[in-house]
C-alpha cells in the first residue's frame, strides 16, 4: 500500500505474462484517504486484482467460439441496441460537452485576432441538454451514417459495424472466431439493429418520445449454453438445472436467483469450472457492502454500479453478516455443491468461505410491547378507516389484527383464500394445510389449522369473510399485489414505512414482531410450549411430537382463547 500524502493506493506490478494486456507496467488502485479504511479495503482489492489477472489469462488463452445459438445472437443484439439508445438519451439529457470546448476555442481565436464561424448562441447551454451546434452536428451525422448503413445493409456488407461487434463481444465476455459463420450472423443482426437505432434517434431528433428498449439479462440464456468447452456450463445454466431438479418453493427460488444474479453481475456468467474461491470471497465482500433495503432506483443497477453509486455512505444500512453468511453464501454454495454432486466440477469453491461474527442473534427483531400495541391500534387505518394505496385495501386493517391474534407469518395470512376460512365442530379456523394456486408454506410443520380468536370475531372478521365470499372473491385480500414471489413483499415494506410515520420508530420492531408478541402472550397465559408451537407452525424439537395427527381443533381453540393483551382495549373496533 502506498500514499501520495492525500490518499492511499494499492500498487502492484503487472505479471510479465500479462504485460501486453495493460498499458502500463504498474497498476494503481485508489483505496481511501483514511488509513484504517484503506487497510481494510486492501485485502479485498488484492483479491479482485488477482481475479482480474485470472480473467485476463482466461480470456487470452480461451479458444474462440465458432457457434452461437439464435437466442444468443438475439440477446447480444438487444444489448447493443439498448446500450446505443441509452447513450443517445444520456447525450440529449446532459449534452456532449462540446459547447464548453468550442467556447474556449472561440475565445482563443478571437484573442489572436481571428474570426470564428460560430456564434455564442451556437455554444450556449441553458439548463442542460444539447447546444445548437451539437444538435445540428448530430442531425448531419444521422443523415450521413443512416445512408451509409442502409447501403451496407442492402448489399450485406457488415464491415461497417465490425468494430461495434468486437466491442460488444469484449464487454459481454464472449470470444468469437471472426472467421466463423456465427460472427457474420451476429454482425448482420447488429447492422440491422444499427439501421433501426438511427431511425429511432432521428425521430427523437424531431421531438418524438421514443423509449429505449429494456436491457436483456447480462448473462447467457438459461438452458441454451454456448458451445461446450473444458470449463463446463455457465453458472446460470447450472442454476436452472438445480431448480429443475430440486423444485424449490417459489420464494426460495426467487431468493436464490437474486444472489445468483448478483454473483453474475459481479463476475460475469462464468462457466462452473472457472469459478474460484477468490470469486466467492469477492462476492462475500460485495454483499457485506450491499444495502439492506435498496431503493427502486438502486435495485435496477448492477452490483458494481450500485456499490460505486453508494460508496462508503455510513447512513445506508447494509446486509447483515448473518444474511450474507446464511442467504448469499448459502445460495451460491448450495448451487455449486449441487454441481459437485452431479459431476460438473470436483470441488466446491464456496466451501469454508464464511462471515466471522462475534455473536449471532437468532432473530434481531423485537416484539411489540403493550405501549406499541396501543399506538398501533390508534393508527388512522383503525380509527378513521384510512386505506392508503400501499396498504392494499382491507389488508391494512386485518393483517395486523390477524398477526396479533394468530401469531401466523405475514405471507401465510396474505395468501389465504376465502375457502381457507372454515368451521369444524363449531370452531371457526383458518386452514393453512393446503398448498395450491400459488400458495407456499415455509416448511411441512407450517401446515396447520389456526382457530379464529374470539377477539377477531368481535372485531368482525367472520363478517368480513362473508362479504368476500358474497362478492365472489377468491383471495381473502384481493387487493394485495407484488412483483416478487412473495405476495406480501410490497405490503411488508409499506407497513414498515407507515408504522414509523405514526410513531413506531425502532427499526427492530417490524410486522414479524407481532409473531414474537403472540408467543410472549402464549407464555404469559400458561399455554404449553408444544401447543403454541402447533398454533404458530414452529418445527418441534421432539421426535415424539411429530407422531399422530396433532392436537384436536377444540383443544387449540381453548388455548387460543386464553391469549390476552392486558391493557389493550379494542372495543372501538368491535362490530355492533
> Residue 367 — φ and ψ, nearest 5°?
-75, 155
Query: How is residue 160 annotated by DSSP?
Result: G
Chain-centroid distance, C-alpha 317:
16
- Integer Cα distance of 500 and 510 in angstroms: 9
393 neighbors 387 (Cβ within 8 angstroms): yes
Sign of CA dihedral 420, 426, 465, 385: negative
- Integer Cα distance of 324 and 289 in angstroms: 10
- Integer Cα distance of 71 and 26 in angstroms: 41
- Which residues, including other chains, have CB under 8 Å from residue 286's CB and lie 6 or more apart? 262, 266, 303, 307
- Integer Cα distance of 121 and 363 in angstroms: 64
- pLDDT tens per residue, range 93-113: 776 655 555 566 666 666 777
**Cα dihedral value 384, 390, 394, 397, nearest 10:** -60
- Reading phi first (left if > 0) and then psi (alpha if -120 to 50, else beta), residue 364 is in alpha
- Return the closest-CA partner of residue 565 out of 439, 447, 407, 429: 407
- Return the closest-CA partner of residue 496 out of 485, 506, 486: 506
- The residue ranges of the chain whose pLDDT is under 70 are 1, 5, 40, 43-44, 47, 51, 59, 62, 95-110, 114-129, 215-231, 358-364, 434-446, 483-485, 538-550, 576
pLDDT for residue 119: 55
What are the C-alpha distances in Å from 35 to residues 42, 89, 334, 353, 548? Answer: 10, 40, 37, 26, 63
- Integer Cα distance of 58 and 79 in angstroms: 23
pLDDT for residue 97: 56
Could you please report the per-residue DSSP string of 171-209? Answer: HTT--B-TTSHHHHHHHHHHHHHHHHHHHHHHHHHTT--
pLDDT for residue 445: 47
pLDDT for residue 287: 94
What are the C-alpha distances in Å from 112 to residues 102, 107, 124, 181? Answer: 15, 9, 22, 57
- pTM equals 0.46
pLDDT for residue 125: 54
- pLDDT tens per residue, range 8-34: 888 888 899 888 888 888 888 777 777
Amino acid at each position: 500500500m502506498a500514499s501520495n500524502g492525500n490518499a492511499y493506493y494499492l500498487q502492484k506490478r503487472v505479471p510479465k505474462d500479462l504485460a501486453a494486456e495493460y498499458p502500463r507496467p504498474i497498476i494503481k488502485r485508489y483505496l481511501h484517504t483514511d488509513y484504517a479504511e484503506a487497510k481494510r479495503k486492501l485485502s479485498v482489492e488484492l483479491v479482485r486484482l488477482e481475479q482480474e489477472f485470472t480473467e485476463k489469462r482466461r480470456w487470452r488463452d480461451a479458444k474462440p467460439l465458432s457457434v452461437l445459438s439464435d437466442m444468443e445472437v438475439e440477446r447480444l443484439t438487444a444489448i447493443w441496441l439498448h446500450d446505443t439508445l441509452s447513450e443517445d438519451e444520456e447525450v440529449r439529457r446532459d449534452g456532449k460537452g462540446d459547447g464548453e470546448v468550442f467556447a474556449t476555442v472561440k475565445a482563443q481565436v478571437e484573442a489572436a485576432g481571428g474570426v470564428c464561424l460560430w456564434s455564442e448562441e451556437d455554444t450556449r447551454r441553458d439548463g442542460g441538454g444539447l447546444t445548437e451546434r451539437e444538435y445540428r452536428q448530430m442531425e448531419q451525422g444521422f443523415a450521413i451514417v443512416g445512408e451509409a448503413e442502409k447501403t451496407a445493409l442492402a448489399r450485406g456488407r457488415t464491415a461497417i459495424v465490425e468494430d461495434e461487434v468486437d466491442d460488444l463481444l469484449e464487454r459481454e465476455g464472449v470470444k468469437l472466431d471472426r472467421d466463423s459463420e456465427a460472427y457474420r450472423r451476429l454482425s448482420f443482426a447488429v447492422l440491422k439493429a444499427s439501421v433501426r437505432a438511427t431511425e429511432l434517434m432521428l425521430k427523437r431528433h424531431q421531438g418524438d418520445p421514443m423509449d429505449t428498449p429494456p436491457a436483456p439479462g447480462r448473462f447467457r440464456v438459461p438452458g441454451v449454453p454456448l458451445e461446450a468447452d473444458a470449463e463446463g456450463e455457465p453458472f446460470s445454466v447450472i442454476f436452472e438445472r438445480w431448480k429443475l431438479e430440486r423444485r424449490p418453493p417459489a420464494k426460495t427460488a426467487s431468493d436464490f436467483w437474486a444472489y445468483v444474479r448478483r454473483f453474475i453481475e459481479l463476475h460475469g456468467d462464468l462457466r462452473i469450472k472457472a469459478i474460484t474461491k477468490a470469486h466467492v470471497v469477492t462476492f462475500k465482500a460485495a454483499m457485506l457492502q450491499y444495502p439492506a433495503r435498496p431503493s427502486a432506483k438502486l435495485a435496477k443497477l448492477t452490483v458494481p454500479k450500485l456499490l460505486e453509486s453508494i460508496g462508503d455512505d455510513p447512513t445506508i444500512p447494509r446486509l447483515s453478516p448473518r444474511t450474507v453468511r446464511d442467504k448469499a453464501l448459502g445460495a451460491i454454495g448450495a448451487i455449486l455443491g449441487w454441481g459437485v454432486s452431479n459431476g460438473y466440477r470436483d470441488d466446491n469453491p464456496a466451501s469454508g468461505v464464511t462471515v466471522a461474527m462475534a455473536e449471532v442473534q437468532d432473530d434481531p427483531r423485537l416484539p411489540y410491547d403493550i405501549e406499541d400495541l396501543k399506538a398501533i391500534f390508534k393508527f388512522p387505518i383503525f380509527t378513521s378507516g384510512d386505506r392508503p394505496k400501499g396498504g392494499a385495501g382491507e389488508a391494512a386493517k386485518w393483517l395486523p389484527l390477524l398477526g396479533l391474534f394468530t401469531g401466523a407469518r405475514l405471507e401465510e395470512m396474505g395468501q389465504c383464500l376465502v375457502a381457507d376460512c372454515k368451521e369444524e365442530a363449531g370452531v371457526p379456523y383458518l386452514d393453512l394445510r393446503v398448498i395450491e394456486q400459488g400458495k407456499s408454506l415455509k416448511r411441512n410443520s407450517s401446515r396447520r389449522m389456526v382457530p379464529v380468536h374470539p377477539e377477531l370475531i368481535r372485531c368482525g372478521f367472520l363478517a368480513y369473510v362473508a362479504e368476500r365470499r358474497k362478492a365472489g372473491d377468491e383471495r381473502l385480500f384481493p387487493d394485495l399485489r407484488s412483483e416478487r414471489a412473495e405476495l406480501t413483499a410490497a405490503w411488508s415494506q409499506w407497513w414498515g414505512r407507515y408504522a414509523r410515520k405514526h410513531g413506531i420508530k425502532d427499526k427492530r420492531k417490524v410486522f414479524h414482531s407481532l409473531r414474537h408478541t403472540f408467543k410472549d402472550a402464549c407464555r404469559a397465559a400458561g399455554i404449553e410450549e408444544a401447543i403454541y408451537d402447533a398454533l404458530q407452525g414452529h418445527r418441534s424439537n421432539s421426535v415424539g411430537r411429530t407422531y399422530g395427527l396433532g392436537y384436536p381443533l377444540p383443544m387449540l381453540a381453548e388455548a387460543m382463547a386464553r391469549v390476552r393483551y392486558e391493557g389493550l382495549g379494542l372495543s372501538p373496533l368491535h362490530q355492533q
